A = this chain, B = another copy of it.
Amino acid sequence: MPLSPASVAEQEYLKQIYLLHEDEGRATTQMLADRLGVKPPSVTAMIKRLAEDEDGPLVRHMPYHGVDLTERGVAVALEMLRHHRLIELFLSELLGVPWDRVHEEADRLEHVLSEDLEERIATKLGNPTVDPHGDPIPSREGVIMPREMVRLTELPVGATGVISRIDQQEGPVLQYLASLGLILEETVTVQSIAPFGGVVTVRVGMGGPDSVHALGGDLAKHILIALACDEAEGSRR
């Protein structure tokens, strides 16, 4: 992904537009303002600049109805995501930075990573496809390896699975999850789910009764599970 004649601010907007489409299905002015920590008029102004970039539009603006990325915009967003996630893994594996702190570091480093360094890091890590949170790392060509996963809140009671992705970047939240043993690759079994997006009770690993924890629905929905192979998906057989 050698391109990206975009400023840091532009890269940041494009990345957040991509991520909003991924987790909310759309990107509005307000949502972008919240995620970027700026006011709505700043977002509108930047969207206009991105829409009339001199080497072709990076976004399509539907006034009053949000914004989405052009092919060029997606390419820039995926490059930033690749940088971000490679850096997260690198910091975690090679410098022992804890998983709840790699995100903020990567957010600053991703914009100044050269293609050469990107390549060296990828090679050193063995061309990984997932970062320390289970987020997929796009390939050099911008391809994301698809993986089958369901949210913890969508699992049937009694089902067992492996935690494969935490869809949440905030340090304190990640720290809390880790304190309960809810980390990547850990096996969990659903004990109960309160209806209407309520509390999920899970057993962690193969442990006894003190490895059972109750999680609020808002938290649990950010935990993604790869079903155990010989488990029917979503049905209770």
State in angstroms the CA–CA spacing of A101 and B119 once bound together.
14
A112, B114: Cβ atoms closer than 8 Å: no
User: Which one of A54-62, A89-97, A141-149, A210-218 is at the B interface?
Assistant: A89-97
Tallying the copies of this chain within the complex gives: 2
Q: Which residues of B contact A111 (CB under 8 A)?
A: 112
B120, A97: Cβ atoms closer than 8 Å: yes
A112, B116: Cβ atoms closer than 8 Å: no
A117 at the interface (CB under 8 A from B): yes
Looking at the assembled complex, report how far the CB atom of A107 sits from the nearest CB atom of chain B, in whole angstroms: 9
Q: How many residues of A sit at the interface, in one of the four size bands?
A: 10 to 19
State in angstroms the CA–CA spacing of A27 and B112 once bound together.
28
Looking at the assembled complex, report how far the CB atom of A86 sits from the nearest CB atom of chain B, in whole angstroms: 12
Q: Which residues of B contact A97 (CB under 8 A)?
A: 116-117, 120
A35 at the interface (CB under 8 A from B): no
Q: Which residues of B contact A94 (CB under 8 A)?
A: 94
Q: Which residues of B contact A121 (CB under 8 A)?
A: 95
Interface flags, A198-216, vs B, CB<8A=1, else 0 = 0000000000000000000
Cβ-closest chain B residue relative to A114: B105
Q: Which residues of A contact B (CB under 8 A)?
A: 91, 94-97, 101, 105, 108-109, 111-112, 114, 116-117, 120-121, 124
Interface pairs (17), CB distance under 8 Å = A91-B117, A94-B94, A95-B120, A95-B121, A96-B120, A97-B116, A97-B117, A97-B120, A101-B116, A105-B114, A105-B116, A105-B117, A108-B112, A108-B114, A109-B109, A109-B112, A111-B112
